[in-house]
Amino acid sequence: MIALVDGTPRVLNLKQALRHYLEFRVEVVRRRAEFDLKKAKARLHVLEGLRVAIDNLDRVIELIRASADVEEARSNLMAEFALSEIQAQAILDMQLRRLAALEREKIENEYKDLTALVQELEELLADSAKVLRVVRKETQELKRKYGDERRTEVHPEELGEWRREDTEPHDEVVITLSRNGYVKRVKLDTYKKQHRGGRGVSGQRMTKEEDVTPHLQIADTQIICCFLRIEVGVFASRVFELPADQSRNSRGTPVQNLGFNMEPREQVQAVVAVQSYLEDTYLIMATKKGQVKRMHLPLLRNMNRRDFVFFNLKQRRLWCSFGKEEKIWYWFRDWACLLGLISE
């Protein structure tokens, strides 16, 4: 998973993610305890001043009555009882109802509770083990409140070889290849259905006026996509390995940037999506002069973007067709090939 660690994006495994989350929870507990401690001490400081006023009520009233204004009263209280400005102001703000016996008892009880809370918070901040116990308790409470049953099963068997295609979803996409070698894939639902009288939408942005898109395939992301090159060979790639474009108007990516073993100026003439890996199915290519090559189609599983050269011809003129049932022929300016699927 990708997460921000100290403001920097990082890729974390499960153990690292849990460790960073634990460190975050420890920091939250400590900062919350520090905030509560500061707040409790501030309130305790005020209560200490009120207790002094209650214990010396007659003298406090006398000082206030003898003062000309609030400033003088505050100064007299601070000088007489060694109070802070905050404590003296709290005494001046104290309502007469707080002088009742019941209210005085509430002040004493609050003072005792806050004294115990301050001691508890100070002990918590001084002991890392106590902080971890608080984190554990709160995590268990979150589990009880929001937890649900595990959605995946855990088995004791050893993991086999991991394949990326096992984690990729099945999506219908449109694959386009321009004459200048720009390829892209866009989700099929990006294109809207046009009714009678509707206006078409732009499918690809071209940087040169002479560039066109002669090749378009609709395929599943899990199947193999073959690129036929001018040297009469094939590059293969899973469809999900092709660069995904969110916009149908984007130009795409040059085929040379896909990691194939290609020369800088080498051209790809066609793109073909292979729909299956039937064990009794073969890939057939034939030249105009009668040379024929047959390859077991399941071998495409292991191509992994490597170059399979079928012919090494001086005259690059071939016919090209694809499909067991389709009768689609391509004629290229430089070459063409006969490409089909057979089961015999």
Q: What is the DSSP string of 259-273?
A: T-S--TT--EEEEEE
CATH of 167-192+202-342 given 2.40.50.140, 3.40.50.620, 2.120.10.90, 3.40.50.11310? 2.120.10.90
> Would you tell me how many other CB atoms lie within 10 Å of the CB of residue 10?
13
- Residue 218 CA neighbour count, 13 Å, CB half: 5
pLDDT at 289: 61
Show Cβ contacts of residue 256 under 8 Å, excluding neighbours closer than 6 positions: 181, 262, 264, 266
Distance separating alpha carbons of residues 89 and 61, to the nearest angstrom:
14
Backbone angles phi, psi at 315, to 5 degrees: -105, 110
For residue 28, the surrounding DSSP H or E stretch is: helix 14-55
Q: What is the C-alpha to C-alpha distance for residues 338 and 310, in angstroms, rounded to an integer?
A: 12
What does the alpha-carbon distance between residue 272 and residue 337 come to, in Å, rounded to a whole number? 12
Domain ranges of the chain: 2-146, 167-192+202-342
Return the pLDDT at 329.
Answer: 34
> Nearest 5°: CA angle at 130, between 129 and 132?
65
Output the pLDDT for position 204.
55
Dihedral-angle region of residue 304 (phi above 0 means left; psi in -120 to 50 means alpha; beta otherwise): left
Distance of CA 309 to the CA centre of its chain: 40
Global pTM?
Answer: 0.47
> What CATH number labels 2-146?
1.10.268.10
Q: Name 294's bridge partners.
A: 284
Task: Measure the N-to-C terminal CA separation of the chain; round to a whole number of Å.
Answer: 47
pLDDT at site 170:
86
Identical topology for domains 2-146 and 167-192+202-342 = no
Tell me the C-alpha distance between 266 and 317, whole Å.
17
pLDDT score, position 317: 40
Q: Using alpha carbons, list the distances in angstroms from residue 151 to 14, 147, 148, 154.
A: 17, 12, 9, 10
Average pLDDT for consecutive 10-residue bins of the chain (344 residues)?
86 92 94 96 93 88 90 92 92 79 84 95 95 94 88 77 78 85 84 62 56 79 73 72 75 79 72 66 62 67 55 45 35 37 36
